[in-house]
Amino acid sequence: MSEETRLPELYVAVDVEADGPIPGPYSMLSLGMSVAGRPGLAFYTELRPISDEFVPEALAVSGLDRDRLLREAPAPEAAMARAAQWVERLRTTGRPVFLAAPAVWDGMFVHWYFVRFTGRSPFGATGAGIDLRSYWMGRTGCEWRRSHKSTIKAATGLKDLPHTHHAGEDAAELAAVFDAVLKGRAGE
């Protein structure tokens, strides 16, 4: 067994705020990451938009100011390089595993941005990871419609944990929810 396989998995909760439905034509505006069970291990960055295209309703969700980001946020190359370095540093204590809710949405942006702006994803060639709702379905045997994060939060006793649409705060929220699920506080 290699040294790396002896290290524990670190579930890296990831949240993204974007100004449209897909990366490329639209931009990822902020990225937050937080390790489940280790609240001190967190990362947050905003990113300069990569196109002039945006969906006003999508932009409104995050409340981020595109004009400010165009002036002040780091270029995606710099932001994603810092994000990749942060994930790689986790390897000294564990094996990073991507976690999102939903993994399809956040994973699509994160994987595309890592590959496009750094050449590779620190989460692996496919960018695969854990989807909270799918994990919950497997754990409890419930149907998809009963796997909303709000349902999971209630079942784990985390009813007062807010979802703010700030990528850093929402990554911390997801990390806390997944940690509670892993610890079995699901009223089983």
Amino acid at 42: A
| Integer Cα distance of 156 and 153 in angstroms | 5
Look up residue 25 and give its DSSP letter.
Answer: T
For residues 88 and 70, give the distance between their C-alpha atoms in angstroms, rounded to a whole number. 28
Which amino acid is located at 143 in the chain?
E
Q: Are strands 129-131 and 95-100 parallel, antiparallel or unpaired?
A: parallel
According to DSSP, residue 73 is labeled S
Alpha helices for 24-166 (secondary structure H):
56-62, 66-72, 76-90, 103-118, 132-140, 149-155
Separation of alpha carbons 161 and 139, rounded Å: 21
CA distance 91 to 1: 16
Q: List residues with catalytic annotation.
A: 165
